[in-house]
Amino acid sequence: MAFSTVDDLTVSMTYEPNAYPFERESEVRSYSRSFPTTFVRAAGSTMTDSSGRTYIDFLAGCSTLNYGHNDPDMTEALMSYLSRQGLTHGLDLQTEAKAEFIQTFIDLILDPRGLPYRLQFTGPTGTNAIEAALKLARKVTGRSTVISFTNGFHGVTIGALAATGNRQHRMGPAIALPGVTRALYDGYLGASVDTAEMLDQLLSDPSSGYDAPAAILVETVQGEGGINTARASWMRDIDAIAKKHGALLIVDDIQAGCGRTGTFFSFDSMGIKPDIVTLSKSLSGFGLPMALVLIHPDHDQWLPAEHNGTFRGNNLAFVTATIALKKFWRNDDLREDVRRRGRLVTEALTNMSLHVPGSVVKGRGLFLGLDVGSGERAGAICHQAFHHGLVIETSGARGEVVKVLAPLTTPDVLLTSGLEILHRAVEEHLDLRFTTI
Amino acid sequence: MAFSTVDDLTVSMTYEPNAYPFERESEVRSYSRSFPTTFVRAAGSTMTDSSGRTYIDFLAGCSTLNYGHNDPDMTEALMSYLSRQGLTHGLDLQTEAKAEFIQTFIDLILDPRGLPYRLQFTGPTGTNAIEAALKLARKVTGRSTVISFTNGFHGVTIGALAATGNRQHRMGPAIALPGVTRALYDGYLGASVDTAEMLDQLLSDPSSGYDAPAAILVETVQGEGGINTARASWMRDIDAIAKKHGALLIVDDIQAGCGRTGTFFSFDSMGIKPDIVTLSKSLSGFGLPMALVLIHPDHDQWLPAEHNGTFRGNNLAFVTATIALKKFWRNDDLREDVRRRGRLVTEALTNMSLHVPGSVVKGRGLFLGLDVGSGERAGAICHQAFHHGLVIETSGARGEVVKVLAPLTTPDVLLTSGLEILHRAVEEHLDLRFTTI
Amino acid sequence: MAFSTVDDLTVSMTYEPNAYPFERESEVRSYSRSFPTTFVRAAGSTMTDSSGRTYIDFLAGCSTLNYGHNDPDMTEALMSYLSRQGLTHGLDLQTEAKAEFIQTFIDLILDPRGLPYRLQFTGPTGTNAIEAALKLARKVTGRSTVISFTNGFHGVTIGALAATGNRQHRMGPAIALPGVTRALYDGYLGASVDTAEMLDQLLSDPSSGYDAPAAILVETVQGEGGINTARASWMRDIDAIAKKHGALLIVDDIQAGCGRTGTFFSFDSMGIKPDIVTLSKSLSGFGLPMALVLIHPDHDQWLPAEHNGTFRGNNLAFVTATIALKKFWRNDDLREDVRRRGRLVTEALTNMSLHVPGSVVKGRGLFLGLDVGSGERAGAICHQAFHHGLVIETSGARGEVVKVLAPLTTPDVLLTSGLEILHRAVEEHLDLRFTTI
Amino acid sequence: MAFSTVDDLTVSMTYEPNAYPFERESEVRSYSRSFPTTFVRAAGSTMTDSSGRTYIDFLAGCSTLNYGHNDPDMTEALMSYLSRQGLTHGLDLQTEAKAEFIQTFIDLILDPRGLPYRLQFTGPTGTNAIEAALKLARKVTGRSTVISFTNGFHGVTIGALAATGNRQHRMGPAIALPGVTRALYDGYLGASVDTAEMLDQLLSDPSSGYDAPAAILVETVQGEGGINTARASWMRDIDAIAKKHGALLIVDDIQAGCGRTGTFFSFDSMGIKPDIVTLSKSLSGFGLPMALVLIHPDHDQWLPAEHNGTFRGNNLAFVTATIALKKFWRNDDLREDVRRRGRLVTEALTNMSLHVPGSVVKGRGLFLGLDVGSGERAGAICHQAFHHGLVIETSGARGEVVKVLAPLTTPDVLLTSGLEILHRAVEEHLDLRFTTI
């Protein structure tokens, strides 16, 4: 194994695949436990490991690879950029690559939607974007509390972690997570209780114990939380509640954005215009670290460098992100594809659900999942699927949802193959249980 | 301007250099204000803008480009990797690129030093690494407070920001920054007061108001804080104090590591073995986002995924980082170069200091600066230097230090040219002031 | 005006009633604004001002004077104690007065109920008792978060204030109030939503964002919150939820205890045995500052002096509190009286409510109120009542409840007189409004 | 034992002195462990227990009984007030007792010093006064951080506890104590380091990590911290630093005030006029719970009831406090007495210190102590003294100071007797150690 062509740089290697070096990784490693092999290359919706085995990828980097692995146009643009000695790193200097990204983003995304946002490039991870968004909302409003929702996931740095619901991450009593009050997501108490109305009641009541919030931070679809979807009418209510109570509306579109639900922004058809939007994951289109905070100009009250970071301008990501926009967002083709493929996946999951008592198909666009009722069951199904060549994972409060996050560009034939593997895994899991009991 | 060779992806562009698109960047942008031009390519220690002008780079991405821009071996390795469709993004899956990086890091860095660290790849920015380190120290010790130092800089996400001294970043009263108590850095009160002894007194006194700390977080050289250096004996005292009081010692080597002071770790010759070390910035060698937390195995008490993040495995960075290690850390050549170039810069700065009453040369290795006594003066000198083709910035509590962070690989002749420009800028600034007064 | 009989201590006084000296009180003063006169003596359920006018007291020190003003037996005991030079202050030393109080409390209150509590005397205010209770629960469980409820009031020192719902007190963003998560009180969303079940769902859901709590802190009747009553079944559910999730149940019986609802503890007939109970207000029986935390022995994990305070043993209060227990809690007479008087007040309030569209009678025992729908209206009614010689105040999130907190010992004839004044005030307010509109 | 003269209220008692009832007190009890007897009466500087033994009191309720126990003029005033059915409790209503206290306080304390303070009566404990003071400073300045000092003690409710240095009280990591940054008290690093200058440097340095403070909270003598005294010049520097940095100066005079240092305020001769002063402990003069916050009118920005509490008007305390002012603060007699007695105690402690190698006499006025170098030794001396009939306690970070807090009014002959007992205890302790070794 020598990816380097620079022979004189080779040192004696003791490396054998899957063995020694990974043992030195911290116990914190996780996906490598679910998929215990070493991957060497990937293209489109498939990944190949060091034994030459190829897998269909229904994980897509948790929706970071919406356009698949190693898109050839992006690869070509990258290689061209590298050949020309384009800047790879320049703090937040102005570079050609950044200029073209900004211009393209304005032309293809913001202007057609009438969105006047300013662009802030933060440290290139979603959690850094959330930290910036929350900080700015607090600065703009002079308030400290942010409302976030049950089952929300917004990252694990302390500021963002405070807004994240997952108890495994929340550090117990080791440190107080500051400045977040929890509200109930759409449908949390079932269809009969309007959780937006409840939030309004709590914020309107001067002795409810709910302080006036700086912001309401919300995902339109909760990916990690279990593919929970908010209704457009609920989102509009939340938008109205934010305005009524002087809070900014921040939509965290890190996982749901960049086309996962069919439209570029997950809220495109919802009739809301958030004050702040966070993007990351599939933004670079190529899996490269990149994060972006979109800020309504009225709220762009940052001082220079008030929120900074070494890697806030990942120029290779600008290069591929620009190609991603030009290739996929100049017309409605991708949206159509997502719609069709979404139907295809929904139908397949619905079929599977017939085998699993109490299971429920969840999600919208290609942000879909099958809630099988327990994390143990969902985990076993994914494990079985991997055995048959499908990379797929769970989400949800207890890991009870088998999550289908195939690249949006997955050819229908591959999508069908993946779903067949999944179906087989479901059946085998049930048989297995039947047999062993 | 079309860096893309994919013609059919081109949209009509209204872009003109330095103009429209950057106006849509948030007010938070900063370096682009100091260096108001658009850079299009870079190589080694120079950068070229869209007008074709070439600058000597004494900023090096704030020590992110210790090996210069676009190292040809790294470029070649990257292009090879891209050609082979190597994985660019794979969450924290095992990949060939990661395996080779880990193995190389163990072989060339850890084993020769007898360091048994486990490796945790976090979200690829320094602040994410700091967040992980602090969180782990709190978990391991069951304590919540971390000691950090005056003028320390550790990032701007809330957990790391709490440890950062800079008031501009600290958000005023908008949100309480949790879990950090401040101590005084080496020399903060002058040579006559031993601030390590003071810290020991405070931690030993049961009614000092200093709670038992989870960790002591320290930079051996404070880059943003003004190129303040800690003596090895002081670092050993801090190490002993941490052990005495049951706290972990975390060395933040994000800016000072990767050779900036001459050795790979800035503490290599200090006789300490920190419990946790954070690395980022120059780790990838190519300016690509990457961050690493080194954890003594005794403290690797993470649960799987307890601290996670989408981009914790930036495979392109693994590729270049591996080359960087093989190319620069297999022998002592770079160390010798840094020593020689450090002397060269120190002499030049000392000469300049003769012109500026009260100025002081600070730092070690190639982590050097000239404290000219005021931020206004330092800023004016850097501004003048840029006018003459040198990219250089300030640091320090009030921006009073002109900071020389040239790539470690800067050829002596270029280094000298840069220093001549700087000298000229100093002289002109003084003349200008003389003239106008 | 010279209450002192020590003539040689008299200084020349410029004092005139209602005038000069009170102008030097801070703007924070409040009740003196509602009742702008100077009171000189009081007995039973009446107060007399410096002009000789006598008022019926339906405020009773916000339920601090459940046995009325200046009970003659308590006065006699106090004077006897003072004559004998009994200790008035002794930190937490053992004194005769404390011994007799503890013994009496055990004999008359704890033992008959089979309650094994330990007694902690804190600084003699309710908020100090709450601070101690929360601190202990955090120590015992090793958790930091406490659940408290919408419209709860537990005091205004920072630890207790965090649990208090009232936004006016909560300091805006000036300081983060630590360690409290809010839940919804019984009936907060109307009869159709079971808020106990909701709390259980939130605590059971590992990604709800609700951390495992150290304690659930609850009032059985929310006095300041608007005389909101919790059903016994709901309290039992909350008790069960606390146990299920490893949290302590703390009942704040500061206002509702000492007979206000008819029984000594407000939860006597509810079938729950809280882990911790806080008492204050009417505990001394004479209006003297006193506070008590009752702790199940399993949880009495305090170190000596871990929570301390100068006035934790107010011996004059021990003297009167002992008399109060002996006089009022050796048989069921007071309970019977409260029941009869509660019916009497309820009927009267119900009659008044016929005049006020949308008004609602709330409460139980002699902890009663009339919700008239707006703070403006309730305030005007109380103002009018004071004009006619009745001291009465409002409570509730917006001050919308006219609160009847007459001493439990108020003779029926005085109670009736007070209610007639209140009825008249309601009518006049409505006429006034009718006339002026 | 029947202090009650109301025979029909007597219940059967199982009480035996020192036995049963106190076993039901929480483990948190502390002084009763040091002085394991039951006290039944007290007068002046002596206390008598249930066996009839009389002790000299050098504890004086930790300076709560500066005028001794059961001052006969105060007793008489109290009994007169009770006879007249004066209000004992009236929330913060205007009462005759309060009026006379305010007027007397203005006439005898504030006006002669030219102090324009407004008076806020808080819940009647020192910690409640501190909570109010900190809250107000945060409101007035819009800042959240308060500076407090090493070894400071300000109470144990969470807001005040954050400012208290004692680790035993600070709750470990169970909850973050909000909003306090620690500075070093006068002399903390010995005579050669000016800790006021250090504080100024830290507050002036924009990247020190010290945020702009709302207030500086300081005791002129640290009682619990070990009888540490601040020099007047240092206090003036702190005053100037507060003003320079826009912070309020809060002097916590709860223990040092009311004459303990000779003057009414401990800072009377220091040339400072604090923005806020807190008083409690000896304010009522009779050991009754009372607390007062003095606020410069410019800062009296409270809204009505913004900080409240049930017992903020303890009228019995107003009665005795008025007598205390009239009796002791109309002329300089007490000041002269304190000066003379202070010299007497200082000489005696100096003599004792000759026996104890390394011991140091500390304090000023009658706020004095002997630092004997270890808590074990100081505890043993106090234990031995109690054996001989002297009630005396330790203070200091490790309990290493034998603290002499005799009532200011202690007749010289009693003072001498007490000091002789103490001297004997010191000698016996040393002999004992000598013998056993």
Residue B45 lies in a domain: yes
Residue with tokens 């690395």: B279
A122 lies in the same domain as A236: yes
Same-domain status, A273 and A340? no
User: What ipTM is given for this predicted complex?
Assistant: 0.95
Averaged pLDDT, D266-277: 97
A252 and A355: one domain?
A: no
| pLDDT reported for residue A11 | 37
Task: Report residue B67: phi and psi, to 5°.
Answer: -100, 15
CA of A208, closest CA in chain D: separation in Å? 16
Q: Which one of C43, C106, C142 has the shortest CB-CB distance to D85?
A: C43
Residue B7 pLDDT: 42
Minimal C-alpha gap between B317 and chain C (Å): 33
Q: Provide the pLDDT confidence category of residue C361 given band limits of 50, 70 and 90.
A: very high
* Interface A-B: count of C-beta contacts within 8 A: 482
Residues in A touching C202 (Cβ below 8 Å): 150, 182
The predicted pLDDT at position B434 comes to 55
Hey, is the C-beta of A297 within 8 angstroms of any chain C C-beta?
Answer: no
Residue pLDDT, tens place only, A317-331 = 999 999 999 999 999
Chain B CB contacts of C175 under 8 Å are 173, 176
Q: Is the pLDDT of residue D45 over 50?
A: yes
Report pLDDT digits (tens) over C391-434: 999 999 999 999 999 999 999 999 999 999 999 999 999 886 65
| pLDDT above 70: residue C102 | yes
Give the residue from chain A lying closest to D142, CA to CA.
A142
Q: Which residue has the higher pLDDT, D435 or B161?
A: B161
Does C11 reach chain B within 8 Å, measured CB to CB? no
What mean pLDDT do residues A388-409 have?
97
Q: Write out pLDDT tens, residues B21-30.
A: 899 999 999 9
Q: Report, as an integer, the average pLDDT of D261-277.
A: 97
**Which stretch of DSSP H or E encloses residue D112?**
helix D111-113
Say whether pLDDT at C15 is over 50: no
Written as six digits, the tokens of C177 are: 């109030």
| The three-state (H, E, C) secondary structure of chain C, written as one string | CCCCCCHHHCCCCCCCCCCHHHHCECCCCCHHHHCCCEEEEEEECEEEECCCCEEEECCHHHHCCCCCECCHHHHHHHHHHHHCCCCCECCCCEEHHHHHHHHHHHHHHHHHHCCCCEEEECCCCHHHHHHHHHHHHHHHHCCCCEEEECCCCCCCCHHHHCCCCCCCCCCHHHCCCCCEEEECCCCCCCCCCCHHHHHHHHHHCCCCCCCCCCEEEECCEECCCCCEECCHHHHHHHHHHHHHCCCEEEEECCCCCCCCCCCCCCCCCCCCCCCEEEECHHHCCCCCCCCEEEECHHHCCCCCCCCCCCCCCEHHHHHHHHHHHHHHCCCCHHHHHHHHHHHHHHHHHHHHHCCCCCCEEEEECCEEEEECCCHHHHHHHHHHHHHCCEECEEECCCCCEEEECCCCCCCHHHHHHHHHHHHHHHHHHHHHHHHHC
Residues B191 and B45 in one domain: no
Q: What is the mean pLDDT of chain D?
A: 93
| pLDDT value of position B175 | 84
**Alpha-carbon distances of C74 from C70, C315, D6, rounded to whole Å:** 7, 13, 9
- Give me the mean pLDDT over the D154-182 stretch: 90
Whichever domain contains A406, its CATH number is: 3.90.1150.10
The helix/strand/coil state of B422 is helix
Region A275-279 average pLDDT? 98
Minimal-distance CA residue of chain B relative to C178: B176
- The neighbouring-strand residues paired with B208 are none
Q: Please check whether residue A175 touches D, CB under 8 A.
A: yes
**Which of C145, C198, C208 comes nearest A165 by C-beta?**
C208
A437 touches chain C (CB under 8 A): no
Instruction: Say yes or no: D166 contacts chain C, CB-CB below 8 A.
Output: no
Q: Is B159 helix (H, G, I), strand (E, B) or coil?
A: helix
| Within-domain flag for D174 | yes
Q: Is A1 a domain residue?
A: no
Would the CB atoms of B326 and A11 count as touching at under 8 Å? Answer: yes
What percent of chain C has pLDDT above 90?
90
Residues 302-331 of C with CB under 8 A from A: none
Whether residue D400 lies inside any domain: the answer is yes
Q: Band of the pLDDT at C7, cuts 50, 70, 90?
A: very low
Which residue(s) pair with B361 in the sheet?
B370
Which chain A residues are closer than 8 Å to C164 by Cβ?
209
Reported as a pLDDT band with limits 50, 70 and 90, residue D99 is very high
Looking at A296, A328, A360, which one is the last position of a domain? A328
Tell which wins on pLDDT, D263 or C313.
Answer: D263
Q: How far is B322 from chain C (nearest CA, A)?
A: 38
- Residue A13 lies inside a defined structural domain of this protein: yes
At residue D5, the pLDDT reads: 37
Confidence check: pLDDT of A120 > 90: yes
Identify the pLDDT of residue B1.
Answer: 33
How many beta carbons lie within 10 A of that of residue D33, not counting itself? 12
Model confidence pLDDT, tens digit, residues C130-143: 999 999 999 999 99
Domain end position, chosen among C328, C356, C388 = C328
> Region C230-241: what's the mean pLDDT?
98
Q: Do C95 and D40 lie within an 8 Å CB cutoff? A: yes
Any CB–CB contact under 8 A between D399 and chain B?
A: no
Please check whether residues B10 and B43 belong to one and the same domain.
yes
**Where does a domain end: A280, A295, A328?**
A328
Are residues D205 and B176, on separate chains, in Cβ contact within 8 Å? no
CA distance A354 to chain B (A): 32
Q: Using a CB–CB cutoff of 8 Å, tell me whether D374 touches chain B.
A: no
Query: Nearest CB to B118: which of A24, A83, A304?
Result: A24
The verdict on C305 and C410 lying in the same domain is: no
pLDDT, tens digit, 9 for 90 and up, residues B231-255: 999 999 999 999 999 999 999 999 9
CA atoms within 13 A on the CB side of B22: 22
Any domain includes C382: yes
C306–D81 CB contact, under 8 Å: no
Q: The domain spanning residue C104 has which CATH number?
A: 3.40.640.10
**Considering only residues 186 to 245 of chain D, which have any Cβ-Cβ distance to chain C shorter than 8 Å?**
214
Q: Does the beta-carbon distance from C305 to D30 stay under 8 Å?
A: yes
Against chain B, the chains showing at least 3 CB pairs within 8 Å are: A, C, D
In this predicted model, what pLDDT tens digit does every residue of B300-333 receive, in sequence order? 999 999 999 999 999 999 999 999 999 999 999 9
Tell me: the pLDDT tens digits for D373-383?
999 999 999 99
Whether residue A17 has pLDDT greater than 50: no
Asked whether residue A21 falls in the same domain as residue A162, the answer is: no
Q: What pLDDT score does D435 carry? A: 55
Q: Does the pLDDT of residue B437 top 80, yes or no?
A: no
Mean predicted confidence (pLDDT) in D264-268: 98
Where does the pLDDT of residue A437 fall: very low under 50, low under 70, confident under 90, or very high at 90 and above?
A: very low
Q: What is the pLDDT of residue D171?
A: 77
Give D173's contacts in chain A (Cβ within 8 Å). Answer: 173-175
Q: Which residue of B50, B62, B122, B157 is the best one to mutate when testing the A interface, meaning the one whose CB has the most A CBs within 10 A?
A: B157
**What is the pTM for the complete model shown?**
0.95
Specify whether A202 is located in the same domain as A151. yes
Interval B349-372 mean pLDDT: 97
CA B163 to chain D, closest CA, distance in angstroms equals 8
pLDDT band (50, 70, 90) for residue B125: very high
| Residue of chain C minimizing CA distance to A144 | C173
Using a CB–CB cutoff of 8 Å, tell me whether D175 touches chain A. yes
In chain C, which residues have their Cβ closer than 8 Å to the Cβ of D13? 100, 103
pLDDT of residue D11: 38
Provide the residue range defining the domain that includes D177. 73-328
Q: Are residues B117 and B37 in the same domain?
A: no
Write down the pLDDT at residue D103. Answer: 97
Do both D250 and D210 map to the same domain? yes
Q: Is the pLDDT of residue D2 over 80?
A: no
Contact D59, D405 (CB under 8 A): yes
Kindly determine whether residue A176 and residue D176, on different chains, have CB atoms separated by under 8 Å: yes
Q: Is residue B225 scored above 80 in pLDDT?
A: yes
> Total structural domains in chain A?
2
B184 and B80 within one domain: yes
Same domain (yes/no): C177, C321: yes
List the single best residue of C1, C3, C327 to mutate versus D (max D Cβ within 10 A): C3
If you average pLDDT over every residue of chain C, what do you get?
93
* Closest approach of D164 to chain B, Cα-based (Å): 7
C374 touches chain A (CB under 8 A): no
Reply yes or no on whether the pLDDT at D406 is more than 70: yes
For range D331-338, the mean pLDDT: 97
Asked, for residue A398, whether it belongs to a domain, the answer is yes
Tell whether B31 is covered by a domain: yes
Say whether C176 and A178 touch across the interface (CB within 8 A).
Answer: yes
Which residues of chain B does A386 touch, with a Cβ-Cβ cutoff of 8 Å? none
Q: Distance from A245 to chain D by nearest Cα, in Å?
A: 21
Average pLDDT, stretch C293-299?
98
Of the candidates A143, A173, A175, the beta carbon closest to that of B178 is on A175
Cβ–Cβ of A210/C149 closer than 8 Å? no
Residues A47-62, mean pLDDT to the nearest whole number:
97
The reply to whether C280 touches chain D by the CB within 8 Å rule is yes
Q: Calculate how close chain B gets to C278, using CA atoms only, in Å.
A: 29
Question: D94 to chain C: which residues are within 8 Å by CB?
Answer: 18, 22, 32, 35-39
Best residue in C138, C175, C208, C216 for a mutation probing chain A (most A CBs within 10 Å) = C208
**What's residue C174's pLDDT?**
78
